Amino acid sequence: GFLAVSTTDLIQSIVMSIALVVVLAFGINVAGGWGAVVENAKSMAGYLSFTQTHDAVAGVAKPYPFLNIASMMAWGLGYFGMPHILLRFMAIEDENKLKTSRRVASVWVVISMGVAVLIGVVGFSLMKMGILPQYADASAAETIIVDIASVLSKYGFVPAITGGIILAGILASTMSTADSQLLAAASSVSQNLIVEAFKVKVSTKTNMIIARITVVAVSIVAVFLAADPSSSVFGI
């Protein structure tokens, strides 16, 4: 299970990397170059301010207090302690490779997150030029990569294929997180809950069956919740 998830993650990461680079390069080119992107970004109130944030709706800078900064740092740094991330290191074949794995993972996160932020900055220029729609809020702007891929697909056959690869990259990132979370849930129930918490002794085969049943059960619940995106969980 761990090997299968790690292998698919590698392939999905490659697709995501290609998608991010293509989107960024295409966006900068259409926006008129990096200089134009920077100038448009500087026109935003609160541009690169540590204590202010830009309100896209009102077009003004708003205070960004220390509590917000601390909360965002806690959210970001907490990423390294997420179960589906730690499982990768726990399943490593050789403990001596942990240092190298840590460096690769950290570099990947910095590059991917950095490029994602730059895509947002480039997207602002494309929005000002009327190439992308005016996003009502940050939630609506989350479709920016899909919108850029849609624009790219209008430039011919090859760009359309490239746009499809970008969309595949988005699906790859979704699948990567989904299968990791499913594996983490299965491991939590079969090992942490059944064996460690309830002290039930089970064979390796039984443990695997419990893990598979957990994956199916969680998947069914997920499908049920996703059937109506507007609904709340348990009425809360």
Query: pLDDT per position in the chain (236 positions), as tens?
Result: 556 667 777 787 788 888 888 999 999 999 999 999 999 988 888 887 888 888 777 778 989 999 988 888 887 777 777 776 777 777 777 888 888 888 888 888 888 888 888 998 999 899 989 999 888 777 788 889 889 999 999 999 889 998 888 888 888 778 777 877 887 888 889 888 898 888 888 888 898 899 899 989 998 988 888 887 666 555 44
Distance of alpha carbon 57 from alpha carbon 51, whole angstroms: 19
How do residues 57-79 score in pLDDT, each as one tens digit? 777 898 999 998 888 888 777 77
How do residues 127-141 score in pLDDT, each as one tens digit? 989 999 888 777 788
Beta-ladder partners of 212? none
